[in-house]
Amino acid sequence: MPVKTVFKTSIEHISILDENGKFDEKLGKGLIPDKDLVKLYEHMVTCRHFDEVAFKLQRSGRMGTYPENRGQEATSLGAAYALRKTDWLVPCYRENAGLYWHGLPMEFVLLHWMGDERGNQIPDDVKMTPLAIPIGTQMLHATGLAWAAKYRGEDTIACTFFGDGASSEGDFHEAANFAANLDIPVIFFCQNNGWAISVPTKTQCSAPTLAQRGIAFGMDCIQIDGNDIFAVVKVVREAAERARKHKRPTFIEALTYRLGDHTTADDSRRYRDEAEVEVWIQRDPMIRLRKYMTDRKLWDDQKQKVAEENAKREVSATVKRAEEIADPEIKGFFDAMYAELPEELKRQRDTMRTSSIGQDPNQIESPLHAH
């Protein structure tokens, strides 16, 4: 039998606004209205300041740990802007900008990292799941949510965020295989920031792109400049339309970079070259967007000053709400487990003993706020 090619494909890379401020008018014209662009940039300013304050909260012992989002704001924010409020965002832990744009109150993230589970009690009107700390598990949840929406005949999709390291997890392959084989409307958004904690992407993946990992499952796959919010918006909109009309999943690889450590428990100076970091600082999504807006008379130094002042006020109020939240009822951990508490657990709750005999359990100081 003669040799014949049974499959051939290619991966496109999309960039609209590069780090030098060059804008592709053909691809980007009309993509984001000017007024929305200003709001998106102001949102980035607030989220960048939130990052700085959260870092200080951890260093001062007021929060357990924290993963900086600095440098990756355009990925989740661009996706949240392109999607509908009725769509599911299924994050890992570096998507603050997108989660806040989607409607999550800012203090919820602080509560999460302070160890207060109320930070994971997502408001009913916000379509997102709690932050996922185990690597890769959230992709399965996103696939399930999107499948449920399809089953019910709802015009809802799910977008899940994960890193380059998570694309090597078995959970990713299971979720991707399930989504592609059953025509499930889910977007797999891989934020390739070059490092799976201290392991470089080139070490944990021998393929030239991570985007091509979706090809084996029959997905549409694309790579984008993840620090270019225009490219993110364009590609996520197209993926969302594909998901709604054809119930097909898409794999998006967004090339980006975390400018800080993996978390406050990490020291990236031990494994990253400072010269590499300096290169990516010049590719900061905020720097290029501000330059673009300034060149088009949409932004100036005075507006920057006002935005920074507003960010300080908003983040300060957020910290106050998180730190001054009332102590939870100790009995609450029973009631939060089930929609209808089993009789056995009701008895345990009602007869619970504490170290302070005779004292009402709800009057005992919560360990979450003990000094």
pLDDT at res. 367: 42
In a domain, 371, yes or no: no
pLDDT at res. 361: 46
Q: Which residues are catalytic?
A: 258, 262, 271
In a domain, 6, yes or no: no
| Segments of the chain scoring below 70 in pLDDT | 1, 353-371
Q: How many CA atoms lie within 13 A of 265 on its CB side?
A: 6
> Please, what is the Cα angle at 331 between 325 and 332, to 5 degrees?
50
In a domain, 370, yes or no: no
Q: Are residues 240 and 212 in the same domain?
A: yes
Q: Are residues 221 and 352 in the same domain?
A: no
Sequence-distant (6+) residues with CB within 8 A of 41 are 286, 289, 290, 293, 299, 307
Q: Are residues 223 and 281 in the same domain?
A: yes
Query: What domain count does the chain have?
Result: 2
Q: Are residues 278 and 342 in the same domain?
A: no
pTM recorded for the entire structure: 0.90
Q: Are residues 90 and 49 in the same domain?
A: yes
Q: Are residues 309 and 341 in the same domain?
A: no
Beta partners for residue 199, in sequence order: 196
pLDDT at res. 336: 76
In a domain, 3, yes or no: no
**N- to C-terminal Cα separation, the chain:** 78
In a domain, 134, yes or no: yes
Q: Are residues 241 and 358 in the same domain?
A: no
Which tokens in the block code for residue 366? 């919560």
Cβ proximity of 207 and 213 under 8 Å:
yes
Q: Are residues 105 and 129 in the same domain?
A: yes
Cβ proximity of 171 and 179 under 8 Å:
no
In a domain, 83, yes or no: yes
Q: Are residues 191 and 53 in the same domain?
A: yes
In a domain, 1, yes or no: no
Which tokens in the block code for residue 277? 């970091």
pLDDT at res. 351: 87
Report which residue type is found at 148.
A
Work out the burial of residue 66: count CB atoms within 10 Å of its CB; fewer than 13 is exposed, 13-18 middle, 19 or more buried: buried
Gap between the Cα atoms of 21 and 39, Å rounded: 19
pLDDT at res. 1: 65
76: containing domain:
13-323
In a domain, 300, yes or no: yes
pLDDT at res. 363: 53
pLDDT at res. 47: 98
Q: Are residues 307 and 345 in the same domain?
A: no
Q: Are residues 77 and 179 in the same domain?
A: yes
